[in-house]
Structure 1
Amino acid sequence: MSRRHIGYSGIYGKGDQANYRRDDIANEAQHHKINAQGFRTKDQNEAMTNMIEEHMQDGVAERYKHDPTYSATMHGHKPSRGAKTDADIQREEEEIINRKKEKTDSLPGKKL
């Protein structure tokens, strides 16, 4: 028995129907430096899906770099005591840096 799709065959990717608004395509393409608006509809949808996946992967990679507990959490484990301690130290250091920035922002002659 064959599987039937309803609608245009060009809008199916990975078994899902995906249509994106022109504004969304333009906005995402601007961040990725790709002129996806010049593509055909099928290619626009594929390009948009790829750009969104890329964006999500970048976010996950950043989180792995900056959050010591993220790796364990992503794999369904409880973070170790060391990872929790590292996260606490990181938070404390960020608070100290933010307090120092607030103090120096009020100095006369400080350029914004």
Structure 2
Amino acid sequence: MSGQSSVGNAGVYEAGDQRNLPESERPENQVERFEEGQEHSHKDNDSKDQRSIANRLAAAKDQNDPHEGSGKHKTIEDRAAELDPTLPARLHGNEPSRGAKIDKSIEDEEAEILRRKDESAAAKKKNH
């Protein structure tokens, strides 16, 4: 019965392999774990991170803009979709979706409206 308590045996209370090395036995180049920090261990846009809104916005800009050093490059389909919403489907030999056709018609209408406005502005400027 020696070494036993009413709540368990002595093994419950022994640290065993959970003990830390004394300072005298630690290697000199070993760094405490909480001071280490791994690169890319946190997401740049983590909502629970304690960063200012300005820092979050700057991180989001870098994340979304391939020209700002994020390393992300647009695919051929992404670049084609910027030019014409129906182009990615046609590049693959498919008929564009109804939504892509509607987007294309809206873009065409807006381009026509802008063209007419530019012409009328140029005509007014010419008359004055």
After TM superposition, the score normalised by the length of structure 2 is 0.36
Greater C-alpha Rg: 2
Return the structure number with greater helix share: 1
After TM superposition, the score normalised by the length of structure 1 is 0.40
